[in-house]
Amino acid sequence: MAMPYSFKSALQSLCREKWINILSIFTVASSLLIVTLTVFFLYNVELVTSHLPERFSMMIYLKDNLPREDTQNVINMLQKRADVSKVRYISKSDALKELKQTLKDTNYILEGLDDNPLASSIELRLKKDFVTGATAARIAEEVKKIPGIDSVFYGEKIAEAIHLLKRSVENISLIIFLTISLGVIFVTYSTVKILFYRKNEEIEILKLLGATGSFIRMPFLIEGGIIGLMGGALGIVGAFIFYIAVTYRLSMVIPVLKTLVFPLEILIALPVIGIILGIIGSAIAIGRLRL
Amino acid sequence: MIAFQNVSKYYDLHTVLRNINITIQKGEMAFLTGPSGAGKSTLLRLMYMAELADEGNIIIEDLDLASLKMSRIPFLRRSIGVVFQDFKLIKNLNVFNNVALALRIRGVVEREARNLTSEALKKVNLRHLADSYPQSLSGGEQQRVAIARAIVADPLVILADEPTGNLDPGTALDIIKLFRDLNLQGTTVLIATHNRELFRGTGKRVFKLDGGTLSGEEVG
């Protein structure tokens, strides 16, 4: 069987050309360490920003003295919308109570009022995906047209900022991941290319003995995969040391760092990414074999 | 069967082989002789497609090499056992693994590969050197490793390019006897040599090459 021979051949080559391979493993490890730290940072940013849309709300003020039945109609219409996650009715008296609580010690300024000047309102929470400046504006426009609604207020800049922050986090992570991936592919490409040239004579002999392209390629692909795997494993060790240093040591100075979370998925993802990128680099290095 | 039909080969403006017509029957043993530079090695190289003929057809065991797909070349080479003039042994593999490589390439299971390799090394009297590496062997020993590798997979055709060039006369005759034994079992054998002693008295056909052309045929 070709597989065990290929593995043996790849392992022998790794040992025989140990310095170039060790160098490659460390280079891949440093690259993947950067990926891990980026993921680590972005994961925590995502963790924080993912809750922001839940806190975004739209305030809908109802017309004065709107009959109870009409108020219920407005609530029903809002609840039916696919972009709404929560509808909370705040009556005039509830609004005043909330205002008094907000003002606390300075609520004496309300003492001179005969009537409750506040309007009944509805607090509308949108579903996560609809918290963008444009969508919130569209929803506000649509809601305004519902009979019985006087005005709609929402933090359009906040909605846009939340959306922008999330998009930026996603884009930055994608750019860093792609850049580093290309780097890792290039490292394994260079290593395997050098090994391939060094083994040129051996490859020619294999061809003359009747070896197929896959038989010749397999040890190089395995070697590239192993370089990626070991680079990935070493990258995890580096990242874990960094995490411990940050959460245990630096958190004494900056307590908020204690809340950082290490994404455990990366323990599996990083070696797998390493293997895949290593194999891709090797495959490109070998290219098409002329038999 | 091996058949050359009007085969020519050129290197730029230089003609290496001109209008070669040879037919060697299945199970036949034949020799190819001529001085250095006569085109013997090139003729053999055309047969395992290390080079391609510029004109004419070559047929090896029902395969027309002119129409053979590139992807089928490895399978053609597996049906031929070649003893290369420069041995072509892999430096990083010991004698045993160099020979076994021919079987591993063919996908033979490991246990069987080990048995067949031991047998082949026994045939060329090299079992005691199984763990040695090529660079520690003499020219004659390396040549015998190359022969063991060529015969280990029991190919349909054996091509040998000066297979006894580095051997003493006694060992050379033993090797020729080995090829004759393989031939008796039905393997087609073609040996390129400039040593007339090897085919004298064998009763086998000898093709004479000179300056790239077939200058004659005799019985050894």
Domain residue spans of chain A = 2-50+164-287, 57-154
Q: Model confidence at A3, in pLDDT bands (50, 70, 90)? A: low
A210 touches chain B (CB under 8 A): yes
Q: Which of A4, A206, A208 sits opposite B48 (nearest CB)?
A: A208
Give the span between the Cα atoms of A221 and A14, in whole angstroms.
12
Quick: pLDDT tens for A205-247: 999 999 999 999 999 999 999 999 999 999 989 988 888 888 7
In angstroms and rounded to an integer, the radius of gyration of the C-alpha atoms of chain A is 31
A153 neighbors A59 (Cβ within 8 angstroms): yes
Q: Domain A57-154 is of which CATH architecture?
A: 2-Layer Sandwich (3.30)
Chain B interface disruption, residue of A7, A203, A209, most B CBs within 10 A:
A209
Going along chain B from its start, the domains and CATH numbers come out as 1-79+158-220 (3.40.50.300), 88-154 (no CATH)
B48/A207 touch (CB, cutoff 8 Å), yes or no:
no
Give the pLDDT mean for B55-67.
Answer: 91
Give the pLDDT mean for B124-138.
Answer: 94
A60 neighbors A146 (Cβ within 8 angstroms): no
**Shortest Cα–Cα distance, A289 to chain B (Å):** 11
- The answer to whether residue A2 scores a pLDDT higher than 70 is no
In angstroms and rounded to an integer, the radius of gyration of the C-alpha atoms of chain B is 17
Phi-psi region at B64: left, alpha or beta (left = phi > 0; alpha = psi -120 to 50): beta
Give the span between the Cα atoms of A3 and B6, in whole angstroms.
43
Residue A201's closest chain B neighbor by CA? B90
Contact residues on chain B for A208, CB-CB shorter than 8 A: 48, 50, 77, 82, 84, 88
B92/A202 touch (CB, cutoff 8 Å), yes or no:
yes
pTM: 0.72
**Shortest Cα–Cα distance, B58 to chain A (Å):** 18
A291/B74 touch (CB, cutoff 8 Å), yes or no:
yes
Longest dimension (CA), chain A: 104
SS3 assignment, position B73? helix
Quick: pLDDT tens for A257-278: 777 888 888 888 889 999 999 9
**Shortest Cα–Cα distance, A41 to chain B (Å):** 47
Q: Which of A202, A206, A208 sits opposite B82 (nearest CB)?
A: A208
pLDDT of amino acid A1: 46
Pick the more confident residue, A194 or B148: B148
For the sheet with B14-24, list strands across it: B14-24, B2-11, B55-60, B63-64
A291 touches chain B (CB under 8 A): yes
Give the pLDDT mean for A89-116.
Answer: 81
Pick the more confident residue, B154 or A108: B154
Give the span between the Cα atoms of A192 and A203, in whole angstroms.
13
3-state secondary structure A149-213: EEEEEECHHHHHHHHHHHHHHHHHHHHHHHHHHHHHHHHHHHHHHHHHHHCHHHHHHHHHCCCCH
- The answer to whether residue A91 scores a pLDDT higher than 70 is yes
Q: Model confidence at B173, in pLDDT bands (50, 70, 90)? A: confident
- The answer to whether residue A39 scores a pLDDT higher than 90 is no
Give the pLDDT mean for B45-61.
Answer: 94
Give the pLDDT mean for A78-106.
Answer: 87
Place of tokens 């391939």: A196
Pick the more confident residue, B99 or A31: B99
**Residue B19: exposed, middle, or buried by beta-carbon count in 10 A (0-12, 13-18, 19+)?**
middle
A127 neighbors A121 (Cβ within 8 angstroms): no
Quick: pLDDT tens for A125-135: 988 888 777 88
A212/B74 touch (CB, cutoff 8 Å), yes or no:
yes
- The answer to whether residue A250 scores a pLDDT higher than 80 is no
Give the pLDDT mean for B64-84.
Answer: 93
Q: Model confidence at B20, in pLDDT bands (50, 70, 90)? A: very high
